[in-house]
């Protein structure tokens, strides 16, 4: 699939992992990509080099803190001046306090997680209307199955994912008469630096002992689904949380381990 009309796509936190892969997928299909990143998190030359290696045009890069309103206004104003439009917004930034014990259950930690991982999807969209006079056609948030399943250190991250999944339904209701489509993509674990910083590097070694196809999904699979959600072919799907899991969530757990004892060496 390719676009005949180049769109402008904003991916917050798109310098690494899932965000960068999503940005590359849009660039692959001819869209102009805008990527934001945090101070000191990455070198712009490295991001451009990654795009160049795949034969893709360099993205427009902008350092911006998603919870700083001045940064947000400056970013969107510069996008308008450079490109004159903004068609797709991928709210990808997720920052949270790791919860290793009840000592980490502090109001400030939870509110900071909401401020970074939940509120930008709303505030960015609000400012886009003020600056561009129209909303982007697509607003996509990213989630995981953390709200439904226990993950080590993931308490507040899971809480913000759950909040996004609820709010997306209400946002769709409130914006139903506008030309903007809100959806969430929920995925199985994707092995990224962010995941490993949450679960620990030893997690990869552990799952390798019991790994059969489907334990995790790949970056490109996530990027393809996000692109399809913004392709125009799924515009009847609104205010939904779509799960990309290869159908594997159904066959996970003790029953699967029981059925696959020989494969898993149990």
Residue in this structure with the two tokens 């999944």, named with its chain if needed: 165
The closest of 93, 101, 138 to 118, measured between CA atoms, is 93
Residue 266 CA to residue 260 CA, distance in Å, equals 8
Beta carbons within 8 Å of 245's beta carbon, 6+ residues apart = 145, 186, 187, 188, 214, 217
- Going residue by residue through the chain (266 aa), what tens digit of pLDDT does each one get? 444 478 999 999 988 889 999 999 999 999 999 999 987 667 889 999 999 999 999 999 999 999 999 999 999 999 999 999 999 999 998 887 888 899 999 999 999 999 999 999 999 999 999 999 999 999 999 998 888 888 888 899 999 999 999 999 999 999 988 889 999 999 887 776 676 666 677 777 777 777 665 667 888 999 999 999 999 999 999 999 999 988 888 877 788 888 888 877 78
For the chain, list the domains and their CATH numbers. 8-264 (3.40.50.720)
Give the chain's largest Cα–Cα span.
61
Beta carbons within 8 Å of 183's beta carbon, 6+ residues apart = 138, 139, 140, 141, 168, 229, 237, 238, 239, 240, 241, 242
- Full-prediction pTM beyond 0.85? yes
Residue 26 CA to residue 43 CA, distance in Å, equals 21
């Amino acid at each position: 699939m390719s676009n005949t009309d180049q769109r402008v796509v904003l991916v917050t936190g798109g310098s690494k992992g899932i965000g960068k892969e999503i940005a590359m997928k849009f660039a692959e299909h001819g869209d102009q990509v805008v990527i934001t990143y945090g101070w000191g998190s990455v070198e712009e030359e490295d991001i451009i080099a990654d795009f160049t290696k795949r034969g893709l045009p360099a993205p427009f890069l902008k350092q911006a803190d998603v919870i700083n309103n001045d940064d947000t206004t400056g970013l969107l104003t510069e996008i308008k001046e450079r490109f004159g439009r903004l068609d797709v917004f991928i709210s990808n930034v997720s920052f949270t306090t790791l919860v290793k014990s009840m000592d980490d259950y502090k109001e400030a930690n939870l509110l900071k997680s909401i401020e970074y991982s939940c509120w930008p999807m709303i505030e960015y969209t609000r400012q886009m209307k003020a600056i561009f006079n129209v909303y982007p056609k697509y607003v996509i948030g990213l989630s995981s199955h953390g709200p439904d399943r226990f993950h080590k250190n993931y308490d507040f991250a899971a809480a913000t994912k759950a909040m996004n999944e609820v709010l997306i339904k209400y946002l769709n209701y409130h914006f139903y008469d506008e030309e903007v489509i809100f959806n969430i993509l929920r995925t199985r674990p994707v092995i990224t630096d962010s995941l490993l910083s949450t679960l620990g590097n030893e997690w990869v070694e552990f799952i390798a002992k019991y790994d059969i196809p489907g334990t995790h999904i790949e970056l490109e699979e996530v990027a393809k689904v996000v692109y399809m959600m913004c392709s125009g072919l799924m515009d009847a799907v609104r205010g939904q949380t779509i799960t990309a899991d290869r159908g594997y969530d159904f066959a996970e757990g003790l029953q699967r381990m029981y059925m696959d004892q020989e494969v898993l060496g149990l």
